[in-house]
């Protein structure tokens, strides 16, 4: 494959019939911005031939009050097997919404110890732009392949761990939300949450990492934005753990595959009154 976490539409076209390759559609839209099931509806209207649909709101810890939290390894493995994905598969994830939530699903597989997973650079738009066809019928999934989780606990952070990081500055905290929300001058889209950021964190809006063509910006641009973290531990956060994974993906493109994601992100942090909140005028 490649040292990059990305593959091109052209590469996918050349390799899509490989027997060990599995393609996953992870299209997802925030509930506060789009109708319910918008991602699944996008998949149903047309997807890359053979792709199965990964719903981050269903393959999640649905007992949590927080949105799309990482499920335990038992549930993840069970759901993945039902999608026909298992050990020995090369996985390519894509979406129709500028890495929402293909980067998240890529990170989920890596957290579960599966290294042979990649993201289609530019997503569905790149596939169609390269002449790729779509189908609107779900594929016939052949199960039976076992998925063995090898959980990397270092790739996920809890609120308690983030409290320690905020107090000690032991590793950079990179926040992917828009600058207005990060600085506390624009409202959060989730009702009841104050805006602002975890003390000591740095704002790297995920939109700055994505070009107008829906692809990750080039390495030179990534180096300017993220170069200080290319070879050191870092933690990415956002509103609910989705766009944070775009930062993790971008740093992997620079060679750092060990970036953790704060799964609860701002939704969890700001829901606890005891957690300190910093704003631009602090």
Q: Is 220 exposed, middle or buried (0-12, 13-18, 19+ CB in 10 A)?
A: exposed
3-state secondary structure of 253: helix
Task: Provide the terminal-to-terminal Cα distance of the chain, rounded to the nearest Å.
Answer: 47
Instruction: State the catalytic residues.
Output: 238
DSSP H helices in the chain: 9-15, 38-45, 73-82, 102-111, 123-129, 159-168, 179-183, 219-226, 244-253, 265-269
d(CA 34, CA 36): 7
C-alpha dist (Å) from residue 44 to 50, 126, 139: 12, 18, 11
């Amino acid at each position: 494959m490649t040292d990059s976490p990305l593959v091109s539409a052209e590469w996918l076209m050349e390799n899509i019939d490989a027997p060990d390759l599995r393609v996953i559609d992870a299209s997802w839209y925030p509930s506060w911005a789009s109708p319910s099931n918008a991602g699944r509806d996008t998949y149903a209207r047309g997807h890359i031939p053979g792709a199965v649909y990964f719903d981050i709101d269903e393959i999640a810890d649905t007992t949590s009050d927080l949105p799309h939290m990482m499920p335990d390894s038992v549930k993840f493995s069970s759901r993945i097997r039902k999608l026909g994905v298992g050990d020995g598969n090369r996985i390519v994830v894509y979406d129709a919404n500028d890495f929402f939530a293909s980067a998240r699903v890529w990170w989920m597989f890596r957290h579960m110890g599966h290294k042979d997973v990649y993201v289609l650079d530019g997503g569905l738009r790149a596939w169609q732009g390269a002449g790729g066809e779509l189908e609107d019928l779900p594929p016939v999934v052949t199960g039976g392949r076992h998925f063995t989780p090898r959980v990397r606990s270092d790739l996920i952070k809890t609120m308690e761990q983030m409290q320690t990081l905020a107090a000690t500055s032991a590793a950079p905290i990179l926040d992917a939300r828009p600058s207005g929300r990060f600085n506390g001058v624009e409202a959060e889209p989730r009702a009841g949450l104050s805006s602002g950021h975890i003390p000591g964190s740095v704002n790297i809006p995920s939109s700055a990492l994505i070009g107008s063509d829906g692809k990750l910006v080039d390495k030179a641009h990534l180096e300017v934005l993220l170069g200080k973290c290319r070879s050191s531990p870092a933690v990415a956060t956002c509103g609910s753990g989705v766009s944070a994974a775009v930062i993790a993906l971008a740093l992997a493109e620079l060679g750092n595959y060990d970036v953790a994601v704060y799964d609860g992100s701002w939704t969890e942090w700001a829901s606890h009154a005891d957690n300190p909140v910093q704003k631009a005028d602090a």
